[in-house]
Structure 1
Amino acid sequence: MPTRILPAVGDADAVRSITTLLSQLPDAEPMAPVTDSTQLVDTLARLAAESVDELPEVVVVHERIGPVPALELIREVALRFPAVGVILVTSDPGPGLFQAAMDYGARGLVALPLGYEELASRVQAVAQWSVGVRRHLGSGVEVFTGAGGTVVTVSGAKGGVGTTLTAIQLALAAQASGRPTALVDMDLQAGDVASYLDVQFRRSVVDLAAITDISPRVLADAVFRHDTGLALLLAPGEGERGEEVTDRATRQIVSALRSRYEVVVLDCGAQLGGAGAAAVEMADAALLVTTPDVVAVRGAKRAVRMWDRLQIRKAEETTVVVNRHTRATEIQPPLIRKITGTAVANTTVPANFKELQGAVDAGRVHELDSRGTVKQALWTLAGELGLARAAEGDHRKGGRFRGDRGSVSFRRRKDGAG
């Protein structure tokens, strides 16, 4: 049986070199190369959705694949497609990188410039390992082979615009629609998700920061299962510990969550650090919450420009959500769209804090009245984003959302992490 090999190489010259050598290997069946990290993950997800047997035995990842760093990409492939063996091609084959590559899930490392004998030997060994894993999986071991969960970040144009409430209600709507959902508090210094949901907790996102191999059991130990069914991964009680969550740790955590939940909602707060930047970059959809006033809209514009300068997110890939909207205000969604250069959600959230105050003060925002205009708007927003779809007797009449896998309206970004 031929060994299927998928090259993941961004550089055109490297593509020619690698594919030429792979085509010369005995019993090798090189597949069409992919040119970035997102295309690789999407290709594997499409094949895995058919069958584990459709996956290539070997993936060859070039060190400059981009935009996601090669080691982070290897981690995601190893987590989501454990039957695939990954080989890293690198110009630095020293012991330090070798150990790091193994820790991230690679099965081998090959030095540049490529040599036929070394590549052939490593491909053969990794292919044999992959075949053995598939034989084991065939005995009934469960493996995640889906396309991966949808990741949505919710950030604030400034503090106090309703970021946390928005994130919580979107997660609740997704969970109510039948989609297993995780809600992550990435406002690491000042997160309030636990307060809004009346949760006492011992573990937080910090407990995962130093772990290089986030297994399903390790992840399950860190999350808090809320009465609503939501899986909560909370900010640390001691805000200074938030610095322990690096951008690298964030990528690992988000990848692990994406492999276990259909929907992952991250409350990123209003302050951008390395962890929040990594989350926004990886997200399938990035929401920026603003209120229709001059200060908040200026904050939204600053955030969008900063994301663009740091190459985290382009303006056109960001969706602004207008909270506390009234028809009387001078600043309306079309003007916000023009000022920020972003998309603006069709659903606006009305200004009606009176219906929220009791639930917020009691830390029971998950018990908001379904007849309330704010909850209705936020759950409608979840439907607009494809996280949930209203049943025939929708939530405004006391109904519930139901899941519809075909309703997800945004796709994995083509220039960001997959």
Structure 2
Amino acid sequence: MPTRILPAVGDADAVRSLTTLLSQLPDAEPVPPVADSTQLVDTLARLAAESIEELPEIVVVHERIGPVPALELIREVALRFPAVGVILVTSDASPGLFSAAMDSGARGLVALPLGYEELVNRVQAVAQWSVGVRRHLGHGGDVFSGVGGRVVTVSGAKGGVGATLAAIQIALAAQASGHSTALVDMDLQSGDVASYLDVQFRRSVVDLAGIADISPRVLADAVFRHDTGVALLLAPGEGERGEEVTDRATRQIVSALRSRYEVVVLDCGAQMSGAGAAAVEMADTALLLTTPDVVAVRAAKRTVRMWDRLQVRKAEETTVVVNRHTRGTEIQPPLIQRITGTAVAGTAIPAHFKELQSAVDAGRIHELDHRSVVKQALWALAAELGLVKVTEAAQKGGRFRGDRGAVSLRRRRETGGGG
């Protein structure tokens, strides 16, 4: 059976030389190359969703791949797709880089300029390893298949629009429906997840920032298991320590969480940092909360444009959620959609702070009454995102009714956008 090899190379000349050499290897079947890290992960995820057998046995990562650095990309591939062997192609064949590549999960390293003998020996060895792993996975019962958990980021267009409350309720809805769920407070300077849930825990996301290899045991030591079952990774108690969480550390932390939990929800706050930008870039779904007022909608538009300029996320890949919606406001979701150029969630969250105040003040937001129209709407939003089945959410979070709770975008359109 031929060995399928997927080259991940960003440079056109390097693609040609690598694919030419790979095509000469015995029993090798090079597949169409991918040009960047995002395309590689998306391709592997799509194939893994079909079957583990659809994945290539080997991925060859060139040192000049981007935008994610090669070693970080190798770490993510190794965590999410453990049946795929990764070979790093690099001009630096020093013992230090070799050790770093192995620590990241690579199964081999080939030096530039490429040589036939070195490449064929390494490909054959990694192919044998991959076949052995797949044989184990095929008879290993409930073994993680490598597709990885769903990552959802929740950001605020500005402070005070309700991003933290939304992130918590989305995580609670996912956990209640049977998904193993982690909630991460990435509002590193002023995160309030612990306060909303009345939690005191000395460990935080900072404790993972300096760790090169986040093992399951290390991750378990850093998270707090809440009474609801949600795993919490909290912001540091000393806000200044948030600077220790770099964009690189964030990628490692999110990848580790993604490999252990089915749903990972990150509260990114309203202040853009390198860590927050990395989280939004990695997210499968990026939510941006706004309220239906001029100041907040302008802030949402600025945020969307900034993400686009920084190549964090395109506007059409962002979903705006309208919080504190009322039928009487002049600014309705369709208008917000036109202003921001984003998608707008079909579920709007109604304005009803009075029913929240006692739960927020007590730090018991997880005990919010099931009859709460705000909770009903947020759980309906979780269902809209595919994180919970509507029937399950209706049983545990309350019924979803457009007259008092969630407001569907379809209904607004049918009635002329009047909300």
User: Is TM > 0.5 for Structure 1 vs Structure 2?
Assistant: yes
Asked whether the 8 Å contact 2:376–2:397 carries over to 1, the reply is no
Per-residue CA deviations over 1:143-173 (Å, capped at 9, x if unaligned) read: 4214211111101111111010000011111
What amino acid is aligned across from residue 4 of structure 2 in structure 1?
R
Q: Which residue of 1 aligns with 2:20?
A: 20
SS at match of 1:259: helix
Letter in 2 for 1:268: C
SS of equivalent residue, structure 1 residue 170: helix
> Is the CA contact 1:154–1:167 (under 8 Å) kept in the aligned structure 2?
yes
C-alpha distance in structure 2 between counterparts of 1:26 and 1:347, whole Å: 55
SS for the counterpart of 1:174 is helix
Q: Which residue is equivalent to 2:337?
A: 337
CA RMSD of aligned residues (A): 2.3
The SS at the match of 2:184 is strand
Q: Note the 1:292-331 alignment, pairs <5 A.
A: 292-331=292-331
Q: Does 1:153 align with 2:153?
A: yes
The structure-2 alpha-carbon separation of the partners of 1:39 and 1:397, relative to structure 1 and needing over 3 Å to count, comes to closer
Residue 85 of structure 2 aligns with an amino acid whose one-letter code is G
CA distance in 1, matches of 2:135, 2:146: 19
Structure 1 segments unaligned to the other structure (5+ residues): 401-418
Greater Cα shift, 163-172 or 5-14:
5-14
Q: How does 1:168-317 map to 2 (within 5 A)?
A: 168-317=168-317
**Residues 25-40 of structure 1: pairs in structure 2 closer than 5 A:** 25-40=25-40
Q: Please list the CA deviations of residues 227-269 of structure 1 after superposition, one character each: whole Å capped at 9, or x if unmatched.
A: 1111111111111111111100100111111111111110000
Aligned AA for 1:224? F
Q: 1:42 to 1:145 in 2, by over 3 A?
A: farther
Whole-Å Cα distance in 1 between the matches of residues 78 and 42 of structure 2?
A: 14
Calculate percent identity across the aligned residue pairs. 85
Change (3 A) 1:124 1:385: same
Distance 1:392 1:261 in 2: 20
Q: Which residue is equivalent to 1:115?
A: 115
Q: 1:410 matched to which residue of 2?
A: none
Once residues 307 and 77 of structure 1 are traced to their aligned partners in structure 2, the CA distance between those partners, rounded to angstroms, is 25
Following superposition, the deviation at residue 96 of structure 1 comes to: 4.1
CA distance in 2: counterparts of 1:392 and 1:31, whole angstroms: 42
Q: For 1:342, give the aligned amino acid.
A: T
- In structure 2, do the counterparts of structure 1 residues 393 and 267 end up closer, same or farther at CA, with 3 Å as the change threshold? closer
Change (3 A) 1:77 1:195: same
Retained in 1: the 8 A contact 2:317–2:342?
yes
User: Is this contact kept in 1: 2:177–2:393, CA < 8 A?
Assistant: no
Hey, what's the Cα distance between the residues in 1 that align with 2:302 and 2:52? Answer: 45
TM-score of the pair, normalised by structure 1: 0.89
Q: Which residue is 2:89 aligned to?
A: 89
Contact 1:49 1:146 in 2 (8 A): no
User: How many correspondences in the alignment?
Assistant: 400
More relative contact order, 1 or 2 (CA 8 Å, 6+ apart)? 1
Name 2:417's counterpart in structure 1. none
Query: How far apart, CA to CA, are the structure 1 residues paired with 2:397 and 2:125?
Result: 60
Q: Could you say which residue in structure 1 is the equivalent of 2:347?
A: 347
- What secondary structure sits across from 2:271 in the alignment? coil
| 8 A Cα contact 1:81 1:145, kept in partner | yes
Deviation at 1:136, TM superposition (A): 5.4
Deviation at 1:310, TM superposition (A): 0.9
1:42, 1:147 within 8 Å by CA — same for their partners in 2? no
Tell me the residue number matched to 2:378: 378
**C-alpha separation in 1, matches of 2:138 and 2:334:** 54
Cα deviations by residue, 1:75-105 (Å, 9 ceiling, x for unpaired): 0111122232211112333444333322211
Cα displacement (A) at 1:337: 1.7
SS at match of 2:183: strand
Residue type matched to 1:299 in 2? A
